[in-house]
Amino acid sequence: MKRAILLVDHGSRRAEANEQLAAVAAQVAARLPDAVVRCAHMELAGPDIATGISDCVAAGASEIVVHPYFLGPGNHTANDIPRLVRAAAERHPGVEVRISEPLGLHPKIVDVILDRVESAGP
């Protein structure tokens, strides 16, 4: 069973914001060389979630974990993304598609915050 990870953010009209998710996906892929790693945007930019799921399937994935690249739970992670993922998954019977929790409260998030605070300078 080939696993894929689809990172999903909101999407932005600013290219540099969308490129950040692609950079995160590249880092995840480097740490999981046997997994298919793709990214998609909920809206405002492409690829959209349906295309991201199709790209994972085309790369041979039979299991896809969609990870909402959001800090916390909200309407997008509770309603919008699950709705879009369900609609896209229906086009790929036999492929298991699950959604992980958003980044949320995690000790490593605190580490990142403290690192950013320290690097802010005087």
Query: What pLDDT, on a 0 to 100 scale, did the predictor assign at position 117?
Result: 95
CATH number reported for the structural domain that contains residue 33 in this entry: 3.40.50.1400
- This prediction has a pTM of 0.92
Query: What pLDDT, on a 0 to 100 scale, did the predictor assign at position 48?
Result: 97
Domain residue limits at 67: 3-118
Q: How many CB atoms lie within 10 A of CB 91?
A: 11
Q: pLDDT 10s per residue in the chain (122 long)?
A: 899 999 999 999 999 999 999 999 999 999 999 999 999 999 999 999 999 999 999 999 999 999 999 998 899 999 999 999 999 999 999 999 999 999 988 889 999 999 999 999 77
Q: Is 30 exposed, middle or buried (0-12, 13-18, 19+ CB in 10 A)?
A: exposed
Q: What is the enclosing helix (H) or strand (E) of 5?
A: strand 3-9
Query: What pLDDT, on a 0 to 100 scale, did the predictor assign at position 122?
Result: 76
How many domains is the chain built from? 1
Give me 49's structure tokens.
């979630």
Residue type, 8: V
Q: How many CB atoms lie within 10 A of CB 23?
A: 10
Are the C-beta atoms of residues 35 and 17 closer than 8 Å to each other? Answer: no
Are the C-beta atoms of residues 31 and 91 closer than 8 Å to each other? Answer: no
